[in-house]
Chain A
Amino acid sequence: MSETLLEVEDLHTRFATREGTVHAVEGVSFTVDKGEIVGVVGESGSGKSVTARSLIRLEDPGYIERGSVRFDDIEMTDADDRTIRRVRGDGMAMVFQDPMETLNPVFSIGEQIVESIKVHESPEEQRLLDYLNVPLFSSRGKRSQMRQQAIDLMSEVGIPHPETRVSAYPHEFSGGMRQRAMLAIALAREPDLLIADEPTTALDVTIQAEILQRIRDLNEELGMAVLMITHDLGVVAELCDKVVVMYGGQVMEEGPVEEVLTNPKHPYTESLLGCMPQTCDRGEPLNVIEGRVPSMVGGPTGCPFASRCWCSSESCTTGDLPTEQVGEDHTSRCHHVEELSEPMEADQ
């Protein structure tokens, strides 16, 4: 029995806009155990990124309406700034989607990694003048030592020639290298949980594979848990132990990867699997899910997928979704679990 590291319960995150309140995350619950790799999968707009941001309290300009995020016995939803900073500097680190936008263009890669090391070493004592590297206020010896640490981290994430690249600026890096630098920034804090928000979406396929491999290695070597946000079921199949399928801000299905992908118990998961190019024959048109992602203004009534679902009924359009236990650790939130087909023969 492994220990629970992160426990998300009934999380609601909303955005106030001119058009009304957007219910981006609507009652999401899941857990991540120590050393586990969990995938959160869904289309764009399914609320998976907002969920990830809410975990480390970067939901602004949205706000957490209710629910709980417990990390290592710390309740993040009502933690004070200091506690939040400590968790960010030591517990949960996040890698974002687009490495072109996530590194500060005016500071060298080394500087940005060093900063991360500094926070990790003394999260409570952050003096502005020290961070601005004002002489007298920041120790030179310490800085060169941290720079060496940064170089080590860079080689750990697979950046070639780290000694020279450490003083390079983000614009001198390729997309893949930047994402590695982001990874190094995250690793500098020796996190227990790495949240990766579509870390490879903006990259070439070959680089994508390398980064994923790197994340898996880190997971195995350091025992670091990973929460992988992605829209790519291939990535989930490759990397994850457990998967959470999200749609319309809600969890549709959750369970061990093997089981969910081979024996989906929710029509949405099933259609998502049907859309993978691998499941279509050559020359046939690719499958698509008819209809579109529902607007999330004003909150859902009934199942968000009802309008696109082939087996939706009266009961799907009103009321809350049931949570059906369909296997050990495998749940589906569908009214029609029983009617769903038996194990799909789809897998190749």
Chain B
Amino acid sequence: MLLVLVGVSILTFLLLFLTPGDPAETILRQQMGGRTPSLEAIEQFRQNEGLNRPIPIQYVDWVTDVLQGNLRESYYQETPVSTLIINRIPATLELAVAGMAVALTIAIPTGIISAVHKGKAPDYLSQFAALVGVSMPNFWLGYILIIVFSLQLGLFPVAGVGGLESLVLPAITLGSGMAAIVTRLVRSSMLEVLDEEYIDTARSKGLRERIVIYKHALRNALIPVVTIVGLQFGYLLNGAVIVEIVFQRPGLGALLIDAIFARDYPVVQGLVLVIAVIFVLTNFAVDLTYRYIDPRISFGGESA
């Protein structure tokens, strides 16, 4: 994991040098609203930002700063990047958690029903719905929801943050795509488990079908689901960018887009690094959970 983190930091750092032409000049031109900056100004900027030193040294400098919790300052505001990011985290986290909740609430029951009624109408219906969900661009879904629920019915605000009402539509928008993925996963995982011999053992005990499915099958079927759901959490951040733009929510995604257009590279680098680290840590956490819910991996857990 450490190796991956080092690699991540190197890649993140090098992103800056993807800028076509001279980064200093590009950045300054942007800051000056398109006018060509003077040579002195460029030199000055390089000096200030340490851009005139060899790249490996710049990298080491940057990493040293990062390890001390210093993500540098924004080019535009006199605010540390870390502060900017921390201020935006709650809005995004709230959205991601709500989106996840929406996804699981839809996906787990639908996936189970689909598997139990394999090859029948409810199965086809939910499978098709899931595919539509996967295929639906979430920016479009967002506008459909706005048109129907905000503009026509006036139930929820069009945009902004604050209160539960303003979270409903964004959460549905974000969660639906993931719901589709998880539904398919629950279905296939459930189908696999329902074919296992121990399900017949459970039935042969005289257990009700409901207990066979919701206790014996579901518990096993959820093991792979937990993994994917954990991994999907990272992908929720992908979706959050778009949802935050659609619903004008001031979260990390909106910050990233603004920073990209403003070529505010310290902010971009900081965000990419933070998000990648969150992503890596989530995967690690998933690994740990996995050990907890599958007794075959860890010895002697709780009997649920």
Contact = CB atoms under 8 A, between A and B. Distances in A.
Interface of A: 53, 56, 58, 81, 84-90, 93-94, 96, 98, 101-108, 110-111, 115-116, 119-120, 123, 126, 128, 131-133, 167-169, 171-172, 182, 185, 189
A93 B296 contact: no
30 contacts: A53-B200, A56-B204, A58-B200, A58-B204, A84-B206, A88-B204, A88-B205, A89-B205, A96-B200, A102-B197, A102-B200, A105-B220, A105-B294, A106-B219, A106-B294, A106-B304, A110-B303, A111-B303, A115-B202, A115-B207, A119-B205, A119-B206, A126-B207, A126-B208, A126-B210, A128-B214, A132-B215, A133-B304, A167-B303, A168-B300
A85 B201 contact: no
B205 to A, nearest CB: 5
Nearest to B299: A172
B196 interface: yes
Which among B210, B300, B303 has the greatest number of chain A C-beta atoms within 10 A? B303
Given A105-B295, A111-B303, A58 B203 contact: yes
Contacts of B196: 101
Contacts of B208: 85, 126
Contact of A86 (B206, B214, B216): B206
Nearest to A195: B204
Contacts of B293: 106
A102 B295 contact: no
Interface in B196-230: 196-198, 200-211, 214-216, 219-220, 223
Interface in B163-206: 196-198, 200-206
Nearest to B206: A89
Contacts of A132: 214-215, 304
A283 to B, nearest CB: 40
A106 B220 contact: yes
A119 to B, nearest CB: 5
Given A106-B220, A171-B296, A172-B299, A115 B205 contact: yes
B143 to A, nearest CB: 41
B33 to A, nearest CB: 62
A90 B220 contact: no
Nearest to A114: B303
Contacts of A84: 206
Contacts, number: 101
Contacts of A115: 202, 205, 207
A123 B206 contact: yes
Contacts of A94: 204
A264 B300 CA distance: 53
Nearest to A61: B195
A93 B303 contact: no
The 7 lowest CB-CB distance pairs between A and B, nearest first, are A89-B206, A88-B206, A101-B197, A108-B303, A104-B198, A169-B295, A85-B206
B207 to A, nearest CB: 6
Interface in B273-304: 293-296, 299-300, 303-304
B296 to A, nearest CB: 5
For the residues of B in contact with A, the DSSP-based class is: helix
A132 B304 CA distance: 7
A121 to B, nearest CB: 11
Given A96-B204, A131-B207, A169-B295, 15 more contacts: A58-B200, A93-B204, A101-B196, A102-B198, A104-B216, A106-B295, A107-B216, A107-B304, A111-B303, A116-B205, A128-B210, A133-B304, A169-B296, A171-B296, A182-B201
A115 B295 CA distance: 19
Nearest to A182: B201
A103 B198 contact: yes
A167 B206 contact: no
Contacts of B223: 106
A171 B198 CA distance: 13
B209 A81 contact: yes
A189 B299 contact: no
B204 to A, nearest CB: 5
A103 B207 contact: no
Contacts of A120: 206
A90 B214 contact: no
Nearest to A90: B206
B191 to A, nearest CB: 13
Contacts of A104: 198, 201-202, 216, 219-220
A189 B206 contact: yes
Contact of A119 (B207, B220, B295): B207
Interface string B2-16: 000000000000000
A101 B202 CA distance: 12
Contacts of B203: 58, 88
A126 B215 CA distance: 12
Nearest to A106: B219
Contacts of B206: 84-90, 119-120, 123, 189
Contacts of B214: 128, 132
Interface string B41-55: 000000000000000
Contacts of A103: 198, 201
A128 to B, nearest CB: 6
Contacts of B216: 104, 107
A165 to B, nearest CB: 12
B303 A131 contact: no
Contacts of B201: 96, 102-104, 182, 185
